[in-house]
Amino acid sequence: MAYPKFIADGMLGKIAKKLRIFGFDTEYLANTDDNTIIKINFDKKRIILTKDRQLYTRSLSLNIPCFLITLENESENLITIMKEYNIEFIFHITNKYTRCTLCNGALETVTKSSPTVLNNVPQKVLEYVDNFYKCVICQRIYWNGTHVNEINKLVDRINKNIGKK
């Protein structure tokens, strides 16, 4: 099954970050006007996520897929997105399928002994963690830290509400 690809407008940075963590290809356009978002999406065929009713209405009138975010609660909005696009399950986060939270690049596994890891990861982390991932675009290094447990609690809440456990 091919998962949807998204464009999140400037009001949805936290949701864009979570979607990337969940492994969804999500562009985040922080300081971009509506016309540019629409123009970009003509070429890329992504689903626009927005809180902007004007952008939502214009997109639909141009037959551009768009989803209006109406709730204030982040987890409720994520649940609504998953339900809208028939996503029945999100896997627990291990960084293996996660995308870069900064630039949306794919992550690849890198060895603990690689210079990229040794030069960019705190010594304390190197003592306790064995698996590392690097963004193929911006080269940022990721690992499964304590934050992953918190993200997986959110994943459990979402999965409980979208279908299967």
What is the pLDDT at residue 95? Answer: 65
SS3 116: helix
Residue ranges and CATH numbers for the domains of the chain are 6-84 (3.40.50), 94-143 (no CATH)
What is the pLDDT at residue 165? Answer: 42
The letter for the amino acid at 158 is I
Output the tens digit of pLDDT for each of the chain's 165 residues: 578 999 999 999 999 999 999 989 999 999 899 999 998 887 778 999 999 999 999 999 999 999 999 998 999 999 999 999 988 877 777 666 789 999 999 999 999 999 999 999 999 999 999 999 999 999 999 998 888 888 888 888 888 888 754
Contacts 24+ apart (CB under 8 A), 123-131: 131/95
